[in-house]
């Protein structure tokens, strides 16, 4: 057994060990052993087989609250914003033990507000009708569905922490922290749905742990992190998984690892697509201003009104064009600045934070040689922990031990990518898309999808997406249907694995009010498939860490939600034809004139089974995603010269 000195960055002991790929979970955990004291004045971590051991007591943890000064003044009151952080750390940090910190920053710890969504059924002039269409009032889509809203008591230092970091990682020698994002909970400033001040608010936590930012305790006395090694990780799901990428893209020193789970990498891709206003799945009418208003929970409920009004104006729901507003909220452009090792996780059935976010982030990290790991699972906007508990905690533990405590445990050499299969088994591979992936182009022909171009014939549809969902329009592809164009292959003679971004190329024209062209990649064949969401396992809960009153340290496993159906929409892609040349600028569209339209769908990892048919269905308005113009737009596509290109793996 190796023991780390008090400062893990000075003279860290390194011992070779096999990668930690699984963790033995016990139904009943023994009482934690008291941490031994290494020679010298300060206690130390305990390390065995290349990983930190649970020798510290969660029940005896020290709680701390600090208000940290940021670099921004987003509420424009003449004072810098402050963010509130609640910390739990081993009691031995009071005797000289220095530890790393795992931070979960969130706008949700302070609760949320019901906010009316924008209307999406537009009038002939492209504007919302003055009456007759009521906007929905609901909480926004970017929420971790596995976590409940915080109660006011959660702001107190004595309240139990939600999640599993405190139960599992604190006994192993980590501090864990919750941070209220700007404009929420105990913080000042204003929420901005990914804006610069929001990033600087979360970054301030890392700066304070390194002595670069000022902080105060609840009594207003200066507070310093004398117990901190300066090294930190950030993790979370959804919005809480977006903030780690935002902070990492600043290049802040001391942030060693991030774990973005179903996180946003560019806010344009969350609320827009190729020049069009496109909603997150299940939340038609939500936008950046709605989200900011819904999380605005700081004590002063009036000071941010002008800031929130500017969000509404600057996001621009009329055109959906790329602008400076969206450039400020694009973290991919700063990927070269990321120093933290990234363990990204995403669900193939996540239509809230769509798969494009992890696909583009993964590509950018590889381009700039950032250490990275990727999990792609079959669920939707879900936490992977209860789906694959042992493997998740084991690999996360390995990841943090290596990057925050410099343990030589094989983390960089472990499988870079793990992909969950249709049968819920997992495959390891060196990259994603898989090595050997090649392009397969299928033409939209009068007789269906084919590898060779057929006759150039015009096919037309009449848009009915304002009142009919895409799922109804893709059904029964062999039947004549005036509101869609469907092209399918014959029954596949072998499995076809698509991994990556399907791309559409059309010779097409529009005549009518709707500027949208929507492409749907469909798997036809009766089957039982994973869909978004999970269901709890009815068996007894598993105890993964040390419990305290109000928090048992146990959780139920979950399993995939499945559906038996004749088809599944595998991927979607949208284009506003006015933005066929650039997402940032519209071009004139002449009704009835044919244009070359090229755009990508959402990246996917999916196997079309032998005997199934692969289909491409074209519509205009996508009822659950795009703005909905009056019905009747005529979309015409020329066959033979139009097609779809699929990234196909061996």
Is 321 part of the annotated catalytic residue set? no
Q: What's the maximum distance between 2 C-alpha atoms anywhere in the chain?
A: 83
The CA distance from 173 to 93, in Å, is 9
Q: Taking each helix axis from N to C terminus, what angle separates 305-315 and 288-295, rounded to the nearest 10 degrees?
A: 160
Q: What is the per-residue pLDDT for 147? A: 47
User: Three-state secondary structure along 529-580?
Assistant: EEEEEEEECCCCCEECCCCECCECCEECCEEEEEEEEEEEEEEEEEEEHHHC
The CA distance from 522 to 487, in Å, is 10
Catalytic hit among 269, 330, 350, 463 = 350
Assign 585 to helix, strand or coil: coil
Assign 420 to helix, strand or coil: strand
Q: What is the per-residue pLDDT for 145? A: 47
Q: Is 537 exposed, middle or buried (0-12, 13-18, 19+ CB in 10 A)?
A: middle
H helix or E strand, kind and range, residue 313: helix 305-315
The CA distance from 311 to 7, in Å, is 45
pTM over the 0.85 mark: yes
DSSP class of residue 31 equals P
Catalytic hit among 228, 238, 262, 265 = 238
Q: Which residue has 């284009």 as its token pair?
A: 575
Label residue 91 by pLDDT band (50, 70, 90). very high
Q: Which of 381, 358, 495 is nearest to 433 (CA)?
A: 358
What is the arithmetic mean of pLDDT over 326-336? Answer: 98
Q: Strand runs (DSSP E) across 379-453, as ranges?
A: 417-420, 426-429, 438-445, 448-450
Between β-strands 438-445 and 643-649, what pairing exists: parallel, antiparallel or unpaired? Answer: antiparallel
Is 238 part of the annotated catalytic residue set? yes
Token representation of residue 472: 């109804």
Q: Which of 145, 398, 360, 158 is nearest to 249 (CA)?
A: 360
The CA distance from 475 to 480, in Å, is 11
User: What are the structural domains of the chain?
Assistant: 2-326+341-429 (3.40.50.1820), 438-649 (2.60.120.260)
Q: Which residue has 């810098």 as its token pair?
A: 80
The CA distance from 415 to 426, in Å, is 12
Label residue 186 by pLDDT band (50, 70, 90). very high
What is the arithmetic mean of pLDDT over 290-298? Answer: 98
User: Three-state secondary structure along 452-509?
Assistant: CCCCCCEEEEECCCCCCCHHHHHCCCCCCCCCCEEEECCCCCCCEEEEECCEEEEEEE
The CA distance from 415 to 642, in Å, is 39
Judged against a pLDDT cut of 70, whether residue 23 lies above it is answered with no
Q: What is the per-residue pLDDT for 11? A: 29
Mind listing the pLDDT tens digit for each residue in 174-184? Answer: 999 999 999 99
What is the arithmetic mean of pLDDT over 227-248? Answer: 98
Q: What is the per-residue pLDDT for 148? A: 43
Dihedral sign, CA of 280, 285, 287, 290? negative
Name residues whose C-beta falls within 8 Å of residue 305's C-beta, 6 or more positions apart in sequence: none
Q: Is 158 exposed, middle or buried (0-12, 13-18, 19+ CB in 10 A)?
A: exposed
- Cβ neighbours of 435 (radius 10 Å): 10
Q: What is the Rg, in whole angstroms, of the alpha carbon atoms belonging to the chain? A: 26
Is 75 part of the annotated catalytic residue set? no
What is the arithmetic mean of pLDDT over 100-104? Answer: 98
Mind listing the pLDDT tens digit for each residue in 37-80? Answer: 444 557 899 999 999 999 999 999 999 999 999 999 999 999 99
What is the percent of the chain with per-residue pLDDT over 70, rounded to a whole number?
90
Q: Is 519 exposed, middle or buried (0-12, 13-18, 19+ CB in 10 A)?
A: buried
Token representation of residue 516: 């949208």
Token representation of residue 549: 């009153």
H helix or E strand, kind and range, residue 391: helix 389-405
The CA distance from 118 to 492, in Å, is 43
Q: What is the per-residue pLDDT for 283? A: 97
DSSP class of residue 288 equals H
H helix or E strand, kind and range, residue 256: strand 255-261
Between β-strands 372-377 and 341-347, what pairing exists: parallel, antiparallel or unpaired? Answer: parallel
Catalytic hit among 118, 357, 377, 381 = 381
Q: What is the per-residue pLDDT for 138? A: 72
Q: Which residue has 């621009």 as its token pair?
A: 316
Between β-strands 228-237 and 255-261, what pairing exists: parallel, antiparallel or unpaired? Answer: parallel
Token representation of residue 231: 């090294």
Mind listing the pLDDT tens digit for each residue in 382-423? Answer: 999 999 999 999 999 999 999 999 999 999 999 999 999 999
Q: Degrees (nearest 5) of the Cα angle 151, 118, 286?
A: 50
How far, in Å, are 508, 575, 611 from residue 443 at the CA level?
14, 19, 20
Q: Degrees (nearest 5) of the Cα angle 362, 366, 370?
A: 100
The CA distance from 52 to 398, in Å, is 9
Judged against a pLDDT cut of 70, whether residue 323 lies above it is answered with yes
The CA distance from 194 to 326, in Å, is 9
């Amino acid at each position: 057994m190796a023991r780390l000195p008090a400062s893990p960055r000075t003279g860290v002991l390194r011992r070779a060990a096999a990668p930690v790929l699984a963790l033995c979970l016990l139904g009943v955990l023994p009482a934690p052993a008291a941490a031994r004291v290494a020679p010298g004045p300060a206690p130390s971590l305990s390390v065995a087989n290349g990983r930190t051991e649970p020798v510290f007591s969660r029940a005896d943890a020290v709680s701390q609250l600090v208000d940290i000064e940021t670099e921004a003044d987003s509420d424009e009151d003449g004072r810098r914003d402050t963010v509130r952080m609640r910390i739990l750390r081993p009691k031995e940090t009071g005797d000289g033990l220095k530890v790393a910190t795992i931070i979960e920053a969130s706008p949700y710890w302070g609760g949320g507000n019901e906010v009316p969504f924008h209307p999406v059924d537009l009038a002939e002039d492209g504007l919302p009708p003055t009456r007759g269409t009521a906007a929905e009032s609901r909480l926004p889509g970017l929420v971790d569905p596995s976590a409940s809203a915080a109660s006011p008591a959660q702001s107190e230092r004595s309240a139990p922490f939600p999640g599993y970091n405190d139960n599992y990682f604190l006994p192993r020698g980590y501090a864990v922290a919750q941070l209220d994002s700007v404009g929420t909970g105990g913080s000042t400033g204003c929420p901005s749905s990914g804006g610069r001040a929001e990033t600087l608010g979360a970054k301030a936590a890392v700066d304070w742990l390194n002595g670069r930012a000022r902080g105060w305790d609840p009594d207003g006395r200066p507070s310093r992190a004398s117990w901190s090694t300066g090294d930190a990780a950030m993790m979370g799901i959804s919005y809480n998984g977006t903030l780690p990428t935002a902070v990492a893209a600043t290049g802040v020193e001391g942030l060693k690892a991030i774990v973005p789970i179903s996180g946003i990498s560019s806010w344009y891709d969350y609320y827009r697509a190729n020049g069009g206003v496109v909603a997150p799945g299940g939340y038609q009418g939500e936008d950046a201003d709605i989200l900011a208003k819904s999380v605005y929970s700081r004590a002063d409920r009036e000071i941010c009104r002008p800031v929130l009004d500017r969000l509404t104006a600057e996001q621009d729901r009329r055109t959906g064009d790329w602008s400076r507003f969206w450039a400020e909220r694009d973290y991919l452009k700063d990927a070269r600045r990321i120093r933290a090792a990234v363990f990204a996780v995403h669900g193939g059935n996540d239509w809230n934070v769509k798969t494009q976010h992890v696909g583009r982030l993964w590509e950018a990290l590889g381009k700039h040689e950032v250490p990275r790991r990727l999990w792609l699972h079959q669920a939707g906007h879900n936490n992977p922990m209860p789906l694959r508990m042992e493997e998740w905690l084991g690999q996360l533990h390995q990841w943090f031990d290596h990057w925050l405590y410099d343990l030589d445990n094989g983390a960089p050499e472990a499988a870079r990518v793990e992909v969950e299969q249709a049968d819920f088994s997992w495959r390891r591979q060196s990259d994603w898309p898989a090595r050997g992936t090649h392009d397969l182009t299928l033409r939209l022909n009068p007789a269906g999808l084919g590898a060779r171009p057929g006759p150039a014939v015009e096919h037309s549809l009449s848009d009915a997406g304002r009142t009919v969902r895409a799922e109804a329009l893709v059904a029964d592809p062999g039947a004549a249907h005036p509101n869609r164009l469907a092209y399918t292959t014959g029954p596949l003679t072998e499995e076809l694995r698509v991994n990556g971004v399907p791309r559409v190329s059309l010779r097409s024209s529009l005549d009518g009010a709707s500027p949208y062209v929507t492409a749907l990649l469909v798997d036809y064949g009766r089957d039982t498939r994973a869909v978004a969401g999970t269901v709890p396992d009815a068996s007894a809960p598993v105890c993964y860490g040390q419990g305290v009153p109000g928090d048992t340290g146990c959780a139920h496993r979950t399993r995939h939600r499945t559906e038996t159906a004749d088809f599944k929409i595998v991927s979607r892609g949208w284009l506003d034809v006015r933005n066929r040349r650039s997402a940032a600028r519209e071009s004139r569209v002449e009704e009835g004139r044919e244009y070359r339209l090229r755009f990508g769908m959402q990246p996917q990892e999916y196997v079309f089974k032998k005997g199934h048919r692969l289909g491409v269905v074209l519509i205009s308005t996508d009822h659950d995603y795009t703005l909905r113009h009056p019905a009747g737009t005529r979309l015409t596509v020329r066959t033979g010269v139009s097609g779809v290109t699929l990234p196909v793996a061996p």
